[in-house]
Every structure is written in C-alpha cells, then in structure tokens.
Amino acid sequence: MNRVYCLYRVSDRGQVEKNDIPMQRIACRTFAQERGWEIEKELSEKGISGYKLTMQQRDAILEIREAALAGKFDILLVYMFDRIGRRDDETPFVVEWLTRNGIAVWSVCEGEQRFDNHVDKLTNYIRYWQAAGESAKTSERVRTRIRQLTEDGFFTGGQCPYGYELVRGERLNKKNQPMNDLRICKDEAEVVRLMFEKAMREGLGPLRIANYLNDCGYTTRKGKRWNQSTIGRILSNRIYLGILQKGDAESQQLPELQIVDDDTFSSVQEIRANRRKGVSENMRTIPMQTRGKSLLSGFLYCAHCGARVNGTTSRKQYRRKDGTLYQQDRRIYRCNASVDGVPVECDGPRTYRAERIEETFEIAISALLEQLEALPVETILEYKYQIALRERKKEYEQAQNALAEKQRDYETLRNEIAKALRGESLFPLALLRSVLEETERAVQEKTERLFELEAKLQNAEQLRLEIQIKQLKYCGLNQIFTSGTMEEKKMLLSILVRRVEVRQGYELNIQLTPSFEQFLDGLIEMR
C-alpha cells in the first residue's frame, strides 16, 4: 500500500478563517481513500506565503525533504500544485527532485506530475511560472490599493502608533465588517507632546527624554519603561503631523490626527539633524548637548588665539589650622589653546571665572531682549512686512529684467538664423539652432519664475502669516532667559548667539546668529 504525506497550505489568516485547510484535508483524504492509499502524515502551513518565502524558510517543506531521503513515504499529495509553492525559480525543481528520489507528486485537481519526457518538464515549469506571475500581480494590486487608501487618508493596518487608538469606522471590508480607523488618544497624546517639548525647548535627546519619562513614572502602552530607540522613532514619525505613511505612499495632512504642530516638529528634526555625526562644528547651529552647569559651553571662544573655551571645574583645597580639610569647587572656563587639534600660542589668560563671564553675558543679552520686548507686536509685524514687501518687489523687478534680456537674445538669434538661411551669417546654422533652443528653454524658465514671484507678491496675507510665524519664534525670549531651566537657556542661545569671544579683562564680543540679526535689523532704532 502506498504511503502518503499530505501538505495543506493557506497564505493568509483570512483563508484560515474561511476553513480552507479543512476543505483541502477532506478533498485529499477522499482522493487517497478512493485509490487505496494510506495517509501517513498530514502537514499544515497556516498563513505561509508560497511566493514570498523560500523553501529553506518553510519547516513543512524541509520535513518533507528529510522524510523523502529517509524513505518514509511514497506519494506527496496536495489539493493543487501551487500549495507546494509559487516560486518559479525554485518550486518546479523541488517537485522534480522529489520524483527523482522516488516520490510521486499528486494533486487532487490536476493529477500526477510526471517527468517522462521534455514536455512534462516544460509543463511543470510553466505551471509554477504562471503561479508566480499570478502572485506577483496579486501583490502589486494589493500594494497599489494600500497606496491609494493611504493617500486618501485611511489607516491600512499594522501596529497602532503611540498617541492613537483604534476605533471602528464606517468603512467595510469584504465581509461587510467595520474596519479600524485611527483616533487621537488624549492621555498618550499629552506624553507625545511632552517628548517633543523636551526635545525642542531643552534640547534633550532620546536617551535623556526616556530617562525623564521613566523618572516621572510614565510608562509605555504595555506598562514597560521607555527606551531610547522608541523615543527616537516617535520624534521622527510624521504621523504626529497628521500624515499617514505606508511605504512610499503618504496622505495629505489630516487635522483630526495632528498631535504636534508643524513648527515644533520641524524644529525637532532640525535639532536632531544638526547633531548627527558628520556635521562640521562650524556648520552646527544647535549645541551638541545641553548638559552641565556652564551656560556658554559650545559658544565661547578665546579672542586671543581663536581656540574654544570650555567649561570645567577647579578644586581648591587646603588644611586648616585645626587639621580639617577645606575643599571648594569653582566653575571656570579654560582656553584649550588649540584650533582643530593643532596647538596654538595664546597670550591671553588660560582660565576665566565662569560666574563673571556669565553675569556680563546675561546683562548684555537681557538688555537686548528687553528692548525687543518693549516694541508693540503690531509695530514689529508692520515694519517687517514692509521690508519683506520691498524685497519681493525688488526680486520681481530683477526677474522682469532678466526675462526681458533673454527675450531680446531670443529675437536676435532668430534674426541671425534668418541671415544664415540666406547665407549672410558668419555662424553655422546648426550652432545657431542649438543656441536658440537653449535660449528658448531659459526664456521658459524665467517666465515661470516671474509668474511664481508675481503670485507671491500679490498674496499679501500669506506674506504677513510667514512673518508672524517667524516673529512668534522670538516672542517671550526674555522670560525664558531669565526664568527658564539651564537646558532651555542653552537652546535659546542657539537661536540668538552664533559665537561669544572673551579676552583679558572679561571683555566679551557677542556675535548674533544671522537669522536673529536680520530680524533685529532696524527694530531697535524704531524706539
């Protein structure tokens, strides 16, 4: 009596729920009973793709091969041949290997696969080539549909992001059952906002944010402690802008799903990008870290030699007359006397008292911020609007002149081509046509640029909004500088200050960032 191994497979959980495996089992058992075969073993694969997974990744196939080598069965029976697999570069050769090792391969629906001649081999290959093609088409249809649903703003499955919860929506699946949609979870959303706030206002990295949350008693959705990698993924996930993503597909911004505002999110991305390895120190606009008690670490330079001046601690100790040891730690700034790792000569002091430098610096910055704060908000907005409007008008006029110049060049070339056709030009006709084509493209580009500038010039409300957003960045700075935490102050300095130079006598040269200096331009004189 022939000994039979049966293989049943379904590629997704939906087929399991439809009782596909019991259907395959009943068909195979009936088929074997009609022929007097004895079923030795039945192997089932639930939710296993015969297209995506190789034979080496499928335990059932590996067991069948070992059993074939050991001579434990004579026939491999499946409901249809594609239950063995759907990979055209692998499955037909596995079937052929089984038959060469004395195992007959049968299908309830398609009969026995034999290899008596070349046509049998070709039929075997074509069967799995066709099955692979059908799987590829199915996969592409699924990917396309998921991409379309994502772009339309629908949640297409997967793990629910932290800060959201799943709710039954109005959409129905193939079984007419409601599908899940995302909704903001109020409690989790507050934690997400706290993460972004710590990253933006205090410059904390993922590790320090995780430690802060754990110390405050916050836990993950599963009640576990926060870790650095999870925080890093949250800080870079555009879902918190209300934008759904799946692969390369992306939805429009959905206000009902937005947890973090655009400015906060972009600021955090800028901070994180600025701190990545490979960014030159001269190009950094954000302090590498905001730890420590020295306010000006990372901003302070020696005016005598150009080297960095770093914050450190100096310990003073001596024994009193009574024999007790007196110790006192004093914060200082120390000149490194080296630039880019190369030692330099310095004729200035090697150390400065931190309290004195910081006091001088804070007085200067506070005076500047107080002057800025004293100006009415509407006055600043109108003043900046008029400056920006003049700049846009100037840019528009320059674009007009550039377009007019190119148009004149174009007409000159056309006239020269006409001369060339009459044999009166000194330039070859082919050269003139080539230059004419380039000039025509330039005219088109400059025309498009002019239309773009004209639209921006006419959209006064958008211009006012852009200026107002920039202005909000500098509102309330004096309050942060006077009462904020050390981390907040250091992050604030990255907005205001590019470099501070100190020389003998505690004389400071404070250089502002270009963006802040541009914002201040003309405002102080308005008072």
Q: What average pLDDT does the chain have?
A: 82
Which pLDDT band holds residue 22 (cuts at 50, 70, 90)? confident
Which pLDDT band holds residue 17 (cuts at 50, 70, 90)? very low
Which CATH number is 11's domain given?
Answer: 3.40.50.1390
Which pLDDT band holds residue 473 (cuts at 50, 70, 90)? low
Q: Are residues 230 and 114 in the same domain?
A: no
Q: Of the segments 2-16, 173-187, 412-426, which one has the largest average pLDDT value?
A: 412-426
In a domain, 79, yes or no: yes
pLDDT, residue 302, reads 93
Q: Are residues 136 and 86 in the same domain?
A: yes
Residue after which a domain boundary falls, among 281, 299, 318: 281
In a domain, 522, yes or no: no
Q: Are residues 200 and 264 in the same domain?
A: yes
Q: Are residues 131 and 189 in the same domain?
A: no
In a domain, 67, yes or no: yes
Domain span at residue 197? 184-281
d(CA 377, CA 526): 13
Query: ∠ CA 473-476-477 to the nearest 5 degrees?
Result: 75
pLDDT, residue 16, reads 46
Bigger pLDDT: 475 or 426? 426
Number of domains in the chain: 2
Q: Are residues 131 and 45 in the same domain?
A: yes
Q: Are residues 250 and 136 in the same domain?
A: no
In a domain, 265, yes or no: yes
In a domain, 255, yes or no: yes
Q: Which helix (H) or strand (E) holds 301?
A: strand 300-302
Which CATH number is 277's domain given?
Answer: 3.90.1750.20
pTM: 0.54
Residue after which a domain boundary falls, among 263, 281, 299: 281
Q: Are residues 208 and 276 in the same domain?
A: yes
The CA R_g of the chain, rounded to the nearest whole Å, is: 37
* Neighbour-count burial for 401-427, b at 16+ CB within 10 Å, e otherwise: eebeebeebbeebeebbeebeeeebee
The answer on pLDDT for 383 being more than 70 is no
In a domain, 210, yes or no: yes
Grouping H, G, I as helix, E, B as strand and the rest as coil, residue 83 is helix
385 contacts: CB under 8 Å, gap ≥ 6: 463, 464, 467
Q: Are residues 267 and 192 in the same domain?
A: yes
Grouping H, G, I as helix, E, B as strand and the rest as coil, residue 45 is strand
Q: Are residues 226 and 110 in the same domain?
A: no
Q: Which helix (H) or strand (E) holds 104?
A: strand 104-107
Strand residue runs (E) in 336-424: 338-339, 342-343, 351-353
In a domain, 247, yes or no: yes
Which pLDDT band holds residue 468 (cuts at 50, 70, 90)? low
Q: Are residues 135 and 24 in the same domain?
A: yes
pLDDT, residue 509, reads 93
Q: Are residues 80 and 196 in the same domain?
A: no
Q: Are residues 130 and 63 in the same domain?
A: yes
In a domain, 251, yes or no: yes
